[in-house]
């Protein structure tokens, strides 16, 4: 998101949102590292924040754990971070 001008009364809320988003992102990436090798994480598109390359035999397990992490982020931070696991050839 790019903001060129902000009404002064909105600035504190935007700053606070940025802080929450930063903490949520750090928590997310650290926790995701406990699930998979994060070097296979790729930038998503408009619908997903990230794409995650997963071996076909691990897709069900990884998808479930990622969904649990997404719910945890939503509950703890009130922010939605989305990941789409994508099968890679094995």
The domain that contains 69 carries what CATH number? 3.30.70
Residue 3, in any domain of the structure: no
Residue 37, Cα to own-chain centre: how many angstroms? 15
pLDDT at 9: 80
66: which 2 tokens? 């990622």
pLDDT at 6: 64
Write out pLDDT tens, residues 41-69.
899 888 888 999 999 999 999 999 999 99
For the residues 17-40, what does the mean pLDDT come to?
A: 92
CA–CA gap between residue 6 and residue 32 (Å, rounded): 34
Residue 1, in any domain of the structure: no
Structural domains in the chain (count): 1
pLDDT at 81: 93
Residue 2, in any domain of the structure: no
Q: Write out the residue range of the structural domain in which residue 27 sits.
A: 8-88
The secondary structure of the chain in percent helix, strand, coil, rounded to multiples of 5, reads 55, 15, 25
Q: Is the pLDDT of residue 33 over 80?
A: yes
Residue 77, in any domain of the structure: yes
- DSSP letter at 35 equals T
Residue 48, in any domain of the structure: yes
pLDDT at 74: 96
Residue 69, in any domain of the structure: yes
The mean of the pLDDT values for the chain is 89
């Amino acid at each position: 998101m790019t903001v060129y001008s902000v009404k002064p009364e909105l600035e504190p809320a935007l700053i606070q949102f940025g802080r929450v988003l930063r903490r949520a992102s750090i928590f997310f990436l650290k926790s995701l590292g406990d699930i998979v090798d994060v070097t296979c994480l790729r930038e998503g598109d408009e619908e997903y924040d990230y794409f995650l390359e997963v071996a076909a035999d691990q897709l069900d397990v990884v998808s479930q754990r990622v969904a649990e992490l997404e719910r945890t982020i939503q509950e703890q931070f009130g922010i939605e971070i989305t990941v789409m696991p994508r099968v890679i050839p094995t």
